[in-house]
Amino acid sequence: MSNFKDFATNLSIELHRRYEGIELDITGINLKLPEYRLIGGCNAGNNLYTGLFIIKGDSLNILKIKEQMELISNFLKDKKLPENFLSACIFYVYEHGCPVELKGKNFNDNNLPGIENIEFKTNRVFYGGSIDLLEPGLSTTKYGEVFLEALKSSIINVKSGIVHCDTYIEEHKNRYYDFKLRLEKNRPCATWLILAICSSMFLWTTLSGGSENLYNLLRFGANYGPLVKSGEWWRLTGSMFLHIGFVHFLVNMFTLLSIGSTLEKYFGTLKYMALYALAGIGGSLASAFSRDILAAGASGALFGLCGGAAYLGFRYSKEIPAILRKQLAGGMISCIGYNLLYGFISSGIDNAAHIGGLLVGVIYAMIVSPPVIKGKEKESVNIYSLVFLLIGIIPFITQFYISYLAIYKTGFENYPLREYRDESNKDLLFKYPTLLSVKEYPEGKGLAGPGMFMQVSSFDTKDNLDIRTESQELLNVLEEKGTKIKEHKLISVNNREWLMVNINTEKGLTYYLLFTCHENKLFRIEMAIADNFLAPGKEIMNLIMENFLPGK
């Protein structure tokens, strides 16, 4: 027959396995209770505890139970229980059968005779349920799924005659404290360094024209596929420290502190820096080679940290104590899944960077094992330490180079130029900066870049035309087609005459039509520039007009 002591010991051990509860020393606590056991369960990873009283309930009626709850409540008020106790919960165990009036009842039942819910919630003492060892199927509790698992395992163990000794709890407790002590010896220095650099870059970009200004982002190292492919590899790491807007910055830095500061304690500073660098670069590469969008943010690297944390929690589920494992990887899979799903259904989110960083993070955690798992606070210094150091400092060294470029190389004249050729005869028409890339559209070929789009078309004429003499006729044609002309002017760029027409368009966009003549051809360039890219867009427009070289 199952008895209270064996069951209470088993339940205590099972709860330790799952919650890393701390068995309290009840010496000196003079509670006038029948046979009982007191467990302190750590709540959500902090130092606040809930006391679980496992009490033998045989021969107790409802009034006695109420008296016990009031007694424990008074002990809480008078601080005779540990100071970090927030509340206490009572779970009754019956060896010879549960009273009829308590069967199927728990602390959520308002109709529990003689026990007013509100009173015991106020006094922080709760009736947590009961179990009848004669009929374990009638056990009641709403303590949660983990508690139910512990309850079921305890019932099975007791019924099978498996009774653990109390020394297991001491061993389990020592293992938990030893592991936690090893973690606490590792300081999250790299996490704070990354936070400092991201904060500095955000402040710098904000004061230099705005963190959402496209040109400003390009200037400070934002990731953009065509530029990366043209040789600006430093954008792969520079974009890891940039953020587009305050909300983007705030969310990413909160995530960095939440996940990074914990994960760094597992890997140690050098391995953690290498993980952050590789995940960030992996995310940037995936973004640069998937589609031509301007991207910035630490999200790729952060997804790498999430992937690494999730894998560690899965791979080392036996080595990492349960509550520490929950702090590291609890809810990580659902969090990753939600953010990826949100990225797929929302515009403006670079999910390629998220997926790239996530895969790198998981692969890294599969290959590189944390020192604390091996029973060490830190990895011993060897040749591998140098490799991790070199990988980890790449983004930081690169950031000095990006800062130099942001100060001294600010114009588009520093970008390499590519040739744009006429589709009909393949003759050179003009040169354009590598910031733009050629795109195929249903209406023909065009050039696109962050914040701007342009398309070139040409028309054969019978005679050589002069744009100055033909400008009025061109304006009349545009007006006949319903074009709303805001302003127009004739300009000369590099000894070539141009008609520049500014057209009224939708808010947030400036639209230009540029006309010029060469021999028996009329060329038209349509150019749309976002208002937050207007100044650099005009610079690119002038650069194209300066390098308009048809027939050369």
Tell me the catalytic residues: 299, 354
Contact assessment for residue 124 and residue 50, using Cβ atoms and an 8 Å cutoff: no
Phi then psi for residue 250, to 5 deg, are: -65, -45
Give the count of beta carbons closer than 10 Å to the beta carbon of residue 414: 10
Half-sphere CA count of 502, side-chain side, radius 13 A: 11
- Cα–Cα distance, 145 to 453 (Å, whole number): 56
DSSP string of 96-111, one letter each residue: S---GGGTT--TT-TT
Cβ within 8 Å of residue 509, ≥6 positions away:
528, 529, 530, 531
Instruction: Using alpha carbons, list the distances in angstroms from residue 425 to 431, 450, 454, 477, 521.
Output: 16, 29, 20, 27, 13
Question: How buried is 184 (Cβ within 10 angstroms: 0-12 exposed, 13-18 middle, 19+ buried)?
Answer: exposed
Cβ within 8 Å of residue 7, ≥6 positions away:
93, 131, 133, 154, 155, 158
Give the count of beta carbons closer than 10 Å to the beta carbon of residue 394: 18
- Cα–Cα distance, 124 to 86 (Å, whole number): 7
DSSP string of 54-83, one letter each residue: EEE-TT--HHHHHHHHHHHHHHHHTT-S-T
For the CA atoms of the chain, what is the radius of gyration? 35
155-159, Cβ contacts within 8 angstroms, sequence gap of 24 or more = 155/7, 155/131, 157/10, 157/14, 158/2, 158/6, 158/7, 158/10, 158/133, 159/2
Token pair 């019924």: residue: 159
- Cα–Cα distance, 179 to 499 (Å, whole number): 74
Question: How buried is 143 (Cβ within 10 angstroms: 0-12 exposed, 13-18 middle, 19+ buried)?
Answer: buried
- Cα–Cα distance, 193 to 384 (Å, whole number): 22
Question: How buried is 457 (Cβ within 10 angstroms: 0-12 exposed, 13-18 middle, 19+ buried)?
Answer: middle
Contact assessment for residue 132 and residue 100, using Cβ atoms and an 8 Å cutoff: no
Amino acid identity of residue 278, one-letter, is L
Give the count of beta carbons closer than 10 Å to the beta carbon of residue 9: 21
